[in-house]
Amino acid sequence: MRRILIALATTITGVVLVFAWPTSLNRSVTSDTAASGTTGSGTSSGTGVSGTFDGAVTSMRYGDVQVRIVVENGVITSADAISYPTQDHESAQINSQAVPMLNSEVVSAQSASISMVSHATYTSQAYITSLQDALDQAGL
């Protein structure tokens, strides 16, 4: 009986510690775009920011990904992966389907909260990272 109580107390303590552990979702993040080496050009007016913003080049297992967004009056009007892996046949085939899906998801969601594309996990993760940098530059 004593062993059961000790095991139960240990389990409860472990569960509490896991749920109390801070994650990246509940931390505030600041971005220093000057240090990132990325470029962006835009203007800010009373109705919102406008311009073209290039995210940071994000390296992944199969190559680099970079995203460019066009913003008009605070609204993302287009998103394009201006650089993504196409060196080998498999990467070219996967990314030829994944990148257009990611581009349209960004315009629909108006944020980096987009779904990852199945079978293009590395590309999706790098795309979202570069996209977030472009959004940070735009102040969105």
Domain residue limits, the chain: 37-138
Classified by CATH at the fold level, domain 37-138 comes out as Sufe protein. Chain: A (3.90.1010)
Distance CA 76, CA 10 (A): 49
Residue 31: CB atoms within 10 Å: 13
Specify burial of residue 71 (Cβ count, 10 A radius: 0-12, 13-18, 19+): buried
Q: Tens of pLDDT along 101-120?
A: 999 999 999 999 999 998 99
Is the CB of residue 103 less than 8 Å from the CB of residue 77?
A: no
pLDDT of residue 32: 37
- Does the pTM surpass 0.75? The reply is no
Is the CB of residue 100 less than 8 Å from the CB of residue 79?
A: no
**CA triplet 37, 43, 44: central angle to 5 degrees?**
115
Banded model confidence at residue 47, pLDDT cuts 50, 70, 90:
low
Question: pLDDT higher for 17 or 128?
Answer: 128
Is the C-alpha dihedral spanning 72, 34, 24, 62 positive or negative?
positive
Is the CB of residue 117 less than 8 Å from the CB of residue 123?
A: yes
Banded model confidence at residue 25, pLDDT cuts 50, 70, 90:
very low
